Amino acid sequence: MAGVRQFDTDRAVEKAMNLFWEQGYEATSMQDLTEALGVGRGSLYAAFGSKDGVYRAALAHYLDSMASAMLQTLDEGGDVRTTIRNALLGRLVVAAEDSVRRGCMLVNAACERLPGDAQTRQTALEVTSANRDALERALAEAVARGEITPAFDPRSLAVFLVACLTGLLVSSKIDSDLASLTRSVDIAISTLDGRPPVNTPNSPHPPGTTGIPV
């Protein structure tokens, strides 16, 4: 566009990703973006339309460059315990690898933007479903090979592992001690051959509790 300075959009999106990942959406202003990216406000609006447009591009870049690594690890095959352990730890290492404790940008987005942001919710659902389906396939194949004899079906285990990972990604923002996070992953992996919990589906709450969330 005439009068608008051209710039490397890929590099700008990379910088925006790191800024939003560290600060979150609300705490990042257009002024922050222009300073961090070294790009004028007019050029940003011309390229992305709005701050939200920059954010969507940054989140998409994060998913392509960071979060997709888990799916790639699961596709490598091999011993299912090792494969799933490596996949989960890979996500946690990225989340906890620096002193900023940035966590997972997608989980951060869900915590900050939901329930009001339908587009972020849809993105989170798609990524969560892809991870769950990949885990389910890996577990089902392991069961077919006789590699594991789980107490629960592969689908239920996959849902549990995704929930466990999500919780650990949040925890990594509080305490990024990888030794502690690794121990939690190992406990999760141990459930692949574990016994059912004491509580049955007909009695989901421990004795003495009401089941009312606190």
Residue 54 placed within a domain: no
Measured between alpha carbons, how far is 17 from 11 in angstroms, rounded to an integer?
10
Residue 75 placed within a domain: yes
**pLDDT tens, N- to C-terminus, the chain (214 residues):** 444 456 789 999 999 999 999 999 999 999 999 999 999 999 999 999 999 999 999 999 999 988 788 888 888 878 999 999 999 999 999 888 777 788 999 999 999 999 999 999 999 999 999 999 999 999 999 999 999 988 889 999 999 999 999 999 999 999 888 999 999 999 999 998 865 444 444 434 444 444 333 3
Residue 2 placed within a domain: no
- Axis-axis angle for helices 105-113, 9-23 (nearest 10): 60
Residue 123 placed within a domain: yes
Q: Domain of 115: which CATH number?
A: 1.10.357.10
Tracing tokens 């989960």 back to the chain, one arrives at 88
Residue 118 placed within a domain: yes
Measured between alpha carbons, how far is 160 from 131 in angstroms, rounded to an integer?
11
Residue 182 placed within a domain: yes
Residue 212 placed within a domain: no
Show the domain range for 149: 59-193
Predicted TM-score (pTM) of the model is 0.82
Residue 21 placed within a domain: no
- How many domains are contained in the chain? 1
